[in-house]
Structure 1
C-alpha cells in the first residue's frame, strides 16, 4: 500500500471543478491546508465568495473522493469563506464599511433590472454574506416596494450626518424613495441627480457590508458616469431580455462599463420563455437565445436565464421577492446560482485594475 502524500491529495482535488470559479480547488488557489497523519487526511479550503448553500455539499463531495484514495482511512474537508475587498478603478477611494460594490444595469427599462437586483441582494444574503442594496434609480425608485418597506418610512439619522439604512429580509436598504413623497416626481437636472446619488452612497451608514448592490437607472447617462468616476465598483451585471431592441441597448451598457474599466461580470436574461399555466406549452415571446449571444459576443458569462413568470412579478409586488417568498423553488435556485457566480467573478478579478480614462462632464 502506497503512502499518502500531498501530491496525491492534490491530484484528487484537481479532478473536481468548482462550478462557480470554473477551476479546480488547487488551480484556483483555494487550498489553505493539507494535513496528513498516516491514513488520516485533513484539507481546508478557503473560498472568496458567498456560498453558504454550496460549501457543505462541495466539502462532502471532495471528502468522498479523498476517502476512495488508496491508503486513506478517513478524510475531512473544511470549506471556509473569506470575502475580500475588490475594486476596479485604482484612483477611486474605497467606501467605508463596504468591501465590494456591484452595479446592476440595463440599456433600457422594463427588462426586470430592479427585480434582478433585489433577488441578487437577497440571494447573496442567503449565502451568508452581509449585503446592502442602494436604489440609484432616482426618478423611479422601486426597491422600497420590493422589500416590503411601508410607504412613508424614513431612515434614522446618526450623528446628524449619516442615514441609517432600513433593514428588510436581512438586507440593508437605502433609496431616494425614503427621502421623498411617493406621489411626487423628482424633477431634477442631471448634476442634481448625480449629487444625490453620491450623497446616498457616501452618507449612508452601511454596516460592514461584503456586497453593496446598486440598482442603476436604465440607460447610459449622468448617473452611470458619476458612478464610474466616484464609486469603487467591483463589477457590473447587465440585465436584458432576448428581444432584439433590448439586446441593442444592452450592448451599449456593456461597452460603457468597458470604457470606464469596470468589469462586466455577466449577463442576466429575463423573460426568456413563457410556459402556459394551463397546457404547459413553452413559447419564446421575446425571442430566443439573445442573452447567450450577447454573453458570447463579449466573452462574459450568461449568469442566469429566467422565465417570464407571473410568480416573480407577484412576489416582488408583494414585498417578498422570489428568493424570500419561495426559497426552494426552481426560480429561486437560479437566483442563488447567479449570486454565487457573481461573487466568484468578483473574487477572481484581483485587487485593482488599470487606470480609468478621465471623463469630462459639462453642464450644457
Structure 2
C-alpha cells in the first residue's frame, strides 16, 4: 500500500509541475542584486524589473545583497528554492570570482539556470590630459619609454577596470602599475587630480569628466564604437587587436527551476528589452542591449569564465 501511495504521489507531482509553470507567477518575484543600491547593476535591475512587472503581472521586488565582490548575493540565489520566485541579476563577477577566490559557496555554472543576457557594458580608456598622449599608439610608446612609471586605477583587485588594464598590458607589452581603490569614485578622483594617469572605466562614469575636458578618451574597449562617444575609436581601430574588455549583465534563476518557467521568464525579458523606452534608457546608460536564449547566455557565460581564468592565471591575481 505504501508503495502504491508513493507511486501515486510521484505521478501527481509529475502532472503538477507543468500546471504550476503554466500558472506562474502567482506572487511577487524577488530579483537579487549582488551589489549596493545606486550602481549600474542596481539601476538596470530596476529599469528591467519595472517592465517585467507589466509583462508578468506580478511585482518584481529588487533586493540588494551586497558584499564579497558579489558572492553574498550569488550564494543567496544559489541556495534559494528553484520555483521562479527568486531570480538573480548576474554580472561579470559571476564569471570572474571562480578564478579569484579559492572557495565559493556556489558554482557559477552548476548553481544557476541562465534566463537571458541583458546587456553589455563597454569601458573607455581615459587618461589625465596632462599625460602627453592623444592616441593609444602614443600611450603605448610613452609607456614603453617609461616602464613602470604609469599607474592605472581600478575600483578594486579583480574589478573589471583592473582586468582590462592587465589585458592591455598583455596585448601591448607595456609595464604599468595597478593601483586598487575601494570603489570607482576614489579612483576617478585621483585620475582627475593626476595622482594616477589612466583608467578603463565604464562610459557613464567617465562621461561627465570627458565632457568637461577633465579626462581624455583614447578608445572604447569593444568591437563597435559607442553611441555616446562616436568619435572615439575602438581598441582594434586604435591598433590593439584581440582586445575586448567589458562588463555584462544577465538574468538567471537557481538551478533546477522548471524549464517552462525559465522559458516564460526568457520570453518576458526579451520582450521587455525590446520595448523602445527600456532600450532607450539602457542605451543612454552606455549599455548595449542584448536579449538572448537561455542556451546562448549559458554559452556566453562559459566563454567568459574561460577567458577570465586565462587572464587571471597569467596575471597571478588572487584574493584569498
State the TM-score, normalizing by the size of structure 2.
0.32
State the TM-score, normalizing by the size of structure 1.
0.29
Higher helix share: 2
